[in-house]
Amino acid sequence: MRASQFVRSLSLLSVGLASTSLLTFAFFALSSSTLTGEDYGRVALLWSSTMLVVAIVYRPAEQQLTHRLARDRAYGFSTASSRRTAIVLLGISAACVTVAAQLVHETLRDSLFDGSEVFYVAFVASCLAYAVSYGVRGVLAGTGRYAAYAAHLTLEATVRLLFAVAVAVGIARGASVVGTGIAAAPAISTLAVALAVALRTRARVSSGPGEGGREPSRAGTPVAFYAVAVGEQLLLSAAVLFAQIRTSDPVAAGVVFNLLLLVRAPLALFLAVQISLLPHFTALVACGATREIRRVTLGVLAASLAGAAAYAVLLGLAGPQLTELVFGATDYEPLGLAFIAIGLGLHLVAGALTQLLLAAGRGRAVVLAWSLPVGCCVGWLAVSGSTDLVAQAQTTYVATAAAVTLILAWWAAGLLGRHRPASRSAG
């Protein structure tokens, strides 16, 4: 039954993420065609800066909440303490982001948004809205409400698209309306889904030992979750930043960005696996289902590697033609594109093993696996004098993904070889 529920949740999330990706693409395609280049640039920067904050600040908090709720439910504990902890963590995070944005108000407004106060306010508002949004997502994933999670994602992308449609058909006018949509979408979708879930559940309370019987979780600290978030962002963005710093040429940085975009797109789809994998592993670890953990782990790893292998063949055979069609660029060699697809496979494996180790309470191993190789990658990019930026980006990405995967695999092999529930051994 567990396996069928996992497959069902994965299917729901995959559909939700796929529809969200298509709606988001439509939002940017429509905005690009209706706004001037300068206005569209501000919209793109608003989105990029907001997503950077979300990935590093709120996504780890969502994963931590998902893990704690799934663990509480598996052991029959009350989830009240985990919810309160998440509210405090997300509240502090949102407050820090708001204060930081206010401290650099003029610099942020002038450098990113060409002096537009409306876009600055939209940035702050969107950061606050996503703090609540990711808290709700954590609750939905941690309590197994994957249909509501998928609906939340789809509704948010739909609301955002409607603002762009309003400008395109003449109901509203100006880039400020499109920018407002980026801030309004998470607020509206979060409120709608939260109300719908509240009406259905009517404050259902978990049974089992109370707060006093709660067993400690070594994965409860947010350090590991934040280490993964920062590590992944640096792995995918450091080469682009150093290309811009070294050449002061946005075109060169854009070539490297597009190369790594070939990795980002499949990773976005794999997010569906990660969302469902963490609570699933957490429940299995709680009941000591070692055989099922091995089966799920090997299945996910095999699927990840098979998908990456197929992607490598596709890019090796038709990569240059595809990149010319999508990006209008032919700066990439077929073997280099196939090589980076191999790195994608390693990255996917690392993502799955990360969820396993987080669920099992091996936070220190996760911090080490992501911090050490990524730190070496950034250091190498900082001192390297290579002029072939594309080859350097390919090599550093694949080598770093391989190093992260090897460290995680070593710890995971030891865990599966002598597995026992983490909470019963965590003192």
198/245 same-domain check: no
202/235 same-domain check: no
100/166 same-domain check: yes
232/332 same-domain check: yes
Task: Provide mean pLDDT across the span 219-242.
Answer: 80
**Percentage helix, strand, coil for the chain under 3-state DSSP, each rounded to 5:** 85, 0, 15
Is there a domain that residue 259 lies in? yes
Q: Look at residues 213, 233, 260 and tell me which one is the last residue of a structural domain.
A: 213
Question: Could you give the 3-state DSSP secondary structure of residue 187?
Answer: helix
Q: Look at residues 189, 213, 237 and tell me which one is the last residue of a structural domain.
A: 213
- Average pLDDT score, the chain: 81
pLDDT at 346 exceeding the cut of 90: yes
122/166 same-domain check: yes
Task: Provide mean pLDDT across the span 291-309.
Answer: 88
pLDDT at 313 exceeding the cut of 90: yes
pLDDT score of 4: 63
139/248 same-domain check: no
Q: Any residues with CB less than 8 A from the CB of 127 and at least 6 apart, and which? A: 50, 53, 54, 94, 97, 98, 101
Is there a domain that residue 17 lies in? yes
Q: Find the range with the poorest average confidence among 256-270, 345-359, 409-423.
A: 409-423
Q: What does the DSSP assignment read for 211-230?
A: GGGPPP-TT-STHHHHHHHH
Please report, to the nearest 10 degrees, the dihedral formed by the alpha carbons of residues 281, 287, 292, 297 taken in order: 20
277/151 same-domain check: no
What is the H or E stretch that residue 382 is in?
helix 363-383
Q: How far apart are CA 328 and CA 322, in angstroms?
A: 9
Identify the domain containing residue 79 by its residue range: 2-213
190/318 same-domain check: no
Residue spans of alpha helices (H) in 203-289: 223-247, 250-286
Top-confidence range, 150-154, 208-212, 359-363, 376-380: 376-380
Q: How far apart are CA 67 and CA 58, in angstroms?
A: 14
205/301 same-domain check: no
281/382 same-domain check: yes
pLDDT score of 424: 42
CA distances from 214 to 94, 289, 373 (A): 28, 21, 35
Q: Any residues with CB less than 8 A from the CB of 219 and at least 6 apart, and which? A: 64, 67, 358, 359, 360, 361, 362, 363, 422
Domain count along the chain: 2
Task: Provide mean pLDDT across the span 177-192.
Answer: 91
Is there a domain that residue 346 lies in? yes
Q: What's the burial of 155, exposed, middle or buried (CB within 10 Å: 0-12/13-18/19+)?
A: buried
- Band the pLDDT of 326: cuts 50, 70, 90: low
pLDDT score of 205: 44
Q: Any residues with CB less than 8 A from the CB of 383 and at least 6 apart, and which? A: none
Q: How far apart are CA 155 and CA 55, in angstroms?
A: 20
pLDDT score of 425: 40
Q: Look at residues 213, 238, 264 and tell me which one is the last residue of a structural domain.
A: 213
* Residue 213 CA to its chain's centroid (Å): 33
Residues 128-144 have pLDDT tens digits of 999 999 988 888 888 88
Q: Which carries the bigger pLDDT value, residue 400 or residue 272?
A: 400
Q: How far apart are CA 133 and CA 86, in angstroms?
A: 12
Q: Answer for the pair 235, 377: CB distance below 8 angstroms, yes or no.
A: yes
Residues 28-57 have pLDDT tens digits of 878 877 887 778 777 877 887 888 888 888
Residues 194-207 have pLDDT tens digits of 887 776 655 444 44
Residue with tokens 């594109």: 337
Q: What does the DSSP assignment read for 292-304?
A: HHHHHHHHHHHHH
pLDDT score of 159: 93
pLDDT score of 209: 43
Is there a domain that residue 367 lies in? yes
User: Using the 8-state DSSP alphabet, how is residue 426 labeled?
Assistant: -
257/378 same-domain check: yes
Q: Which carries the bigger pLDDT value, residue 206 or residue 19?
A: 19
Q: What does the DSSP assignment read for 121-138?
A: HHHHHHHHHHHHHHHHHH
Is there a domain that residue 427 lies in? no
pLDDT at 183 exceeding the cut of 80: yes
Is there a domain that residue 218 lies in? no
207/58 same-domain check: yes
